[in-house]
Structure 1
Amino acid sequence: MTTVIVRVDQRGVASVTLNRPEVNNAYDEAMLRGLHAAIDATEASLSSGSPVRCVVLRGRGRHFQAGADLHWLSAVQAGTPEENLAASELTGTAIRRLSALAVPVVALVQGACLGGGTGVLAAADVVLCGEDSVFSIAEVRWGLHASIILPQLADAIGPRQVRRYALTGERFDAAEAHRIGLVHDVVARDALEARGAEVVEAILASGPGAVTTTKRLARALSWTAAEDGSFDRLVAEHSTARQSAEAHEGLSAFLQKRAPAWAQSDH
């Protein structure tokens, strides 16, 4: 099965669809590589006669994206430190490259968007969601942390909101996502595509060179403009945490459908 479907229309609008609906589009290595391939194709088009001018990102099925596939993470966790570092780098660079893409990225969100999925939204330029959407930055619940998407989240919602939601892992609804800046518009779920089409039309009505320059200059002022060394340190911390005793307990608890040791009540 193709885990990321890419289609480009005659206007130069690339539709990129996450395609693991049976697991609510939780990402694994195949999906991450598919996202990298979609970014590769978009970048390659920019020097061709038919450049992509906008990317619209969707998730197929009931939910946009459920974060990392924890069964995949558990398998990675059992590997070597080098394999864990490669997995963190694959994940982090996908989000980083999506943020740095020269053309606008519009994300249309239905249902749940959890964990690493919030990093995808924070990397997008325009985010629209349905009224039924729910969100969380939940890595800490499994003894992990969201280091590789923290720059994008800091850009989108500010460090103060990151310090709340990335520390508590609590879920929040579409209205709160709009209030803190993770999403730009909240619409009825059945109006999501129509509102997305309006945003795409507004982008296409603008000068492509001016749009590219504006995005580049805006990013230069942001957290995501961090140098390679800072990013490499985030990747290393993310990788190391996955093989910690705490993460072993957190992922084991999830797979065994029990509360982790740190959440046990004293009563």
Structure 2
Amino acid sequence: MPANPVLWDLDERGVATVTLNRPEVNNAYDAGLIGGVLSAMDELSRKPLLRVVVLKGNGRHFQAGADLKWINAVRPQSPDENETVSRATFEAVQRLNRLPIPTVALVQGGCFGGGTGVIAACDVVIAADNAVFSIAEVRWGLTAAIIIPQLCDAIGVRQVRRYALTGERFGAQDARRIGLVHEVVPLADLETSGAKVVEQLLANAPDALAETKTLAMESSFGGMSSDDEAYARLVRMHAAKRQTREASEGLASFAEKRAADWTAAKT
């Protein structure tokens, strides 16, 4: 039996720990992991004592973006099926973003592509000093459409225009400098540092926390709901780009461990 791609537990304080659990592929997301996040959010939302959610990645890396083998399997499906996949991915990020309780992400190792959108959707992000980041979709002929709003909230349009266009990797201190993470600590101290933040959050009034977060979200790029036309447009763009010649070439270059030939992809 395959392992559950998302694990969660809830302690007596009301602190939930949600763990991405595909370490064999660096917690890259596929339909199972997306469904697991949504299921965890559904289950936890029914817990009356829920106070804080801590998000972690099992293994050496926090989250390595999309599982490109899965993306290749999705691409030949119909446009409607591709939009369904993108909609579920968007919804998983937005459920974290709009959760009416504080969320804390603890990041170690790689945090790429969609992983950067996931942490941008969390309220507090602590990174280990070995963390490495990139908004890498353009390298594979894809777009980061569904996480651009969260990234604009977290690091600002100016930084998105650099890092989402270059696809370059950057370290934990640069991530802190641009606002993607709040704190950088030694890897050995990651859990302890997270626990300190959780204690600070638990000392605060739950309703006041929820209202404060709601007010902050009202002025955010990423605060859109699934009913918004802007949301639908992002989903369509995300899904359609996956089925282009550029995406075909980019994903082939990844699989074949070579540089992409973008000129050939235009013909």
Tell me the TM-score range normalised by the shorter chain.
over 0.9
Match of 2:134 in 1: 136
1:141-160 superposed matches below 5 A: 141-160=139-158
Give aligned-pair identity as a percent: 56
Cα drift, residue 263 of structure 1: 8.3
Structure 1 residue ranges without an equivalent (≥5) = none
Q: Which amino acid aligns with 2:222?
A: T
Cα drift, residue 166 of structure 1: 0.3
1:40-79 superposed matches below 5 A: 40-45=42-47, 48=48, 51-79=49-77
- Contact 2:140–2:254 (CA under 8 A) maintained in structure 1: yes
Aligned length: 260
Partner secondary structure for residue 235 of structure 1:
helix
CA distance in 2, matches of 1:133, 1:257: 23
Match of 1:87 in 2: 85
Match of 2:210 in 1: 212
CA distance in 1, matches of 2:32, 2:223: 27
Match of 1:249 in 2: 249
CA distance in 1, matches of 2:91, 2:147: 10
Q: Which amino acid aligns with 1:148?
A: I
Residue deviations 1:164-218, cap 9 Å, x none? 0000000000010000000000000000000000000000000011111100111
Partner secondary structure for residue 237 of structure 1:
helix
Partner secondary structure for residue 96 of structure 2:
helix
The ranges of structure 1 where at least 4 consecutive aligned residues each deviate by more than 3 angstroms after the TM superposition are none
Match of 2:5 in 1: 3
Structure 2 residue ranges without an equivalent (≥5) = none
Cα drift, residue 224 of structure 1: 1.3
- Contact 2:249–2:262 (CA under 8 A) maintained in structure 1: no
Residue deviations 1:23-81, cap 9 Å, x none? 00000000000000111112222xx3xx2100000000000000000000000012111
1:101-180 superposed matches below 5 A: 101-180=99-178
CA distance in 2, matches of 1:79, 1:226: 27
CA distance in 1, matches of 2:161, 2:43: 35
Q: Which amino acid aligns with 2:62?
A: F
Give the alignment partner of residue 199 of structure 1, picking from 179, 190, 197.
197
Match of 2:233 in 1: 233
Q: Is residue 188 of structure 1 aligned with residue 186 of structure 2?
A: yes
Which stretch has the larger CA shift, 115-124 or 216-225?
A: 216-225
CA distance in 2, matches of 1:41, 1:213: 22
Residue deviations 1:207-266, cap 9 Å, x none? 0111111001111111112351101100000000000111011111111222110289xx
Q: Over aligned residue pairs, what C-alpha RMSD do you find?
A: 1.1
- Contact 2:109–2:132 (CA under 8 A) maintained in structure 1: yes
